[in-house]
Amino acid sequence: MNTEGLRRGLHPIQEMDANISVRTDSQLNESTTPIGNARPVDLAQLDSLERKPEEGIARVVDSINRIGAVHKILEVVCRMTGLGFSAVARVTETQWIACAVRDEIAFGLLPGAELQIATTICNEIRESGQAVVIDHASEDDVFCGHPTPKLYGFESYISVPITLASGHFFGTLCAIDPRPAKVNTPEIIGMFHLFADLIAMHIDAEGQMAASSAALLSEREAAKLREQFIAVLGHDLRNPLAAIQSGSEVLGLLPQTPDGMEVIGTIKRSVARITELIDNVLDLARGRLGGGISYYPISERRLGEALGQVVRELQIAWPERVIHWECAIETPVVCDSARISQMLSNLLANALAHGDRSSPIRVNARTGDGAFEMSVANEGTTIPPEVMANLFEPFARGEAVPGNSGLGLGLYIASEIARVHKGQLTVESAEGKTCFSFRMAS
């Protein structure tokens, strides 16, 4: 600091050597985001900002100034030391940037102002990681011939490093004054280290908050994509299928040859199959990506009839198989009957696809003891333990079965239906027999 310049009422910045580059407040505003409107920055990722200095300077300065404790610390530093200028500076290999300042001596540096790093003592502190304390520069054995005190016109000086929890060197907490001052004391040095640690803690917290904000924004964007995905499944894919289904119904009313009727039947079966696949993927999207599969429980008095219809439909689709159906539902069940029917359909289709074709499948549903129970049992190959571990995960299909073109979502969706009903879906497989059992409060 140039004290002669102070006596003439000039800012010391105006008296500095011309090789010192200073970013004024107006230049900062012209080239960067204005302070107070800058985006939050994760200060733990400071190295990446150095690759975009124009944006990085404004964001770091804004982030430091949003830490309320910093300005109180700078005020206390000036009061306790008697020094007229204090600052938090961001210091890198190439930059010295004033992030927050308290200026009681018209030194002239504003937040965002930049000095050439080679002209500062902070560059030496960055390299050594040690504090520098000077009571009277012109009489100090080490710094009496140092160019920096003469260039900036200060006599008293103290600067300590600010080191983040990661070990990253952020910059310094520093103070200067054109007059000599007794700052090289354990009390003042200890206070500076304490304040530097406190600032580092706030910087780390600011970085964590910025990271959390970014994660929240990413989650919101993902939620929007989820909604769009579900909308495509629920609307855009169903509409063409509805048109195909309607067209096949119209063709069925017209005179057709036997071959034509067979083709129409194939179209209808394909539409039903694709509709089932869309429903399964839609349930997967809701269960894994959205808020869970839809669920509308009521006190259902005709659940047995709905489940019997599922068994009859699958018996028609698999005429060569034997299905034994036993139903003893004697009391109403609070459930979503469409979802319970879907669960039975998935479990029975799984048994038909993977069970021994020469052995019957047994389906039971009953109420009693305040509970509803349903089971599907078949004979066939025992499920290996490694397959059992992931049996209810999506796309878990086990061994491929000829003619089975499913996606491996049926058991996952059945488990999701059990979950929303607050019930339990379990499986036992041993000695060539497999049984899926569902139980819930009725």
State whether 253 and 172 are in the same domain.
no
The pLDDT of residue 302 is above 60: yes
209's CB contacts (< 8 A; 6+ apart) are: 40
pLDDT for 194-247, tens place per residue? 999 999 998 888 777 767 766 776 777 776 676 666 666 666 666 777 788 888
Supply the pLDDT for residue 230. Answer: 61
Question: Which residue, 162, 182, 214, sits at the end of a domain?
Answer: 214
Supply the pLDDT for residue 43. Answer: 47
Amino acid at 349: A
State whether 18 and 108 are in the same domain.
yes
pTM of the complete model: 0.46
pLDDT for 127-168, tens place per residue? 999 999 999 999 999 999 999 999 999 999 999 999 998 899
Angle between helix 238-253 and 258-284 (nearest 10) = 160
DSSP secondary structure string for all residues of 102-154? EESS-----TT-EE-GGGSSHHHHHHH---EEES-GGG-TTTTT-HHHHHHT-
Residue 49 in any domain: the answer is yes
Residue 230 in any domain: the answer is no
Bridge partner residues of 325 (DSSP):
363
Residue 343 near residue 440, CB atoms below 8 Å: no
Between 423 and 392, name the one with better pLDDT. Answer: 423
What are the percentages of helix, strand and coil residues in the chain, rounded to 5? 50, 20, 30
User: What's the CATH code of the domain at 93?
Assistant: 3.30.450.40
State whether 373 and 254 are in the same domain.
no
Supply the pLDDT for residue 17. Answer: 40
What domain range includes position 405? 298-441
Between 359 and 63, name the one with better pLDDT. Answer: 359
Supply the pLDDT for residue 223. Answer: 65
Amino acid at 123: N
State whether 175 and 40 are in the same domain.
yes
Size of the chain in residues: 442
d(CA 110, CA 130): 26
d(CA 357, CA 379): 9
Between 408 and 28, name the one with better pLDDT. Answer: 408
Identify the H or E element spanning 300: strand 298-300
Confidence of residue 329 (pLDDT cuts 50, 70, 90): very high
Between 105 and 266, name the one with better pLDDT. Answer: 105
Supply the pLDDT for residue 236. Answer: 65
Residue 385 in any domain: the answer is yes
**H helix intervals, 254-371:** 258-284, 303-317, 337-354
Supply the pLDDT for residue 9. Answer: 33
Supply the pLDDT for residue 250. Answer: 86
Q: Please return the burial class of 222, using the count of CB atoms within 10 Å of its CB with bins 0-12, 13-18 and 19+.
A: exposed
State whether 303 and 273 are in the same domain.
no
161's CB contacts (< 8 A; 6+ apart) are: 125, 126, 129, 130, 131, 169, 171, 172, 196
pLDDT for 43-93, tens place per residue? 444 444 444 445 567 888 888 888 888 999 999 999 999 999 999 999 999
Q: Name the most confidently modeled range: 33-42, 261-270, 278-287, 332-341.
A: 332-341
Between 349 and 49, name the one with better pLDDT. Answer: 349
User: Poorest-confidence range of 24-28, 249-253, 269-273?
Assistant: 24-28
Write the CA distances from 163 to 1, 4, 5, 125, 197, integer angstroms. Answer: 27, 36, 34, 11, 7
Query: Structure tokens of 98?
Result: 């004033």
Short-list 403, 425, 242, 261, CA closest to 347: 425
Domain count, the chain: 3
State whether 198 and 257 are in the same domain.
no
State whether 137 and 172 are in the same domain.
yes
Measured over the CA atoms of residue 20, residue 26, residue 28 and residue 31, the dihedral's sign is negative
Short-list 376, 380, 378, CA closest to 326: 376
State whether 275 and 204 are in the same domain.
no
Question: Which residue, 287, 318, 347, sits at the end of a domain?
Answer: 287
State whether 128 and 205 are in the same domain.
yes
State whether 268 and 384 are in the same domain.
no
Supply the pLDDT for residue 132. Answer: 96
d(CA 158, CA 83): 9
Query: Structure tokens of 70?
Result: 């910093």
Give the start-end residues of each E strand in 302-442: 323-328, 333-335, 361-368, 371-379, 424-430, 433-441
pLDDT for 314-328, tens place per residue? 888 788 999 999 999
Percent of the chain whose predicted confidence (pLDDT) is above 90: 50
Confidence of residue 409 (pLDDT cuts 50, 70, 90): confident
CB atoms within 10 A of CB 435: 17
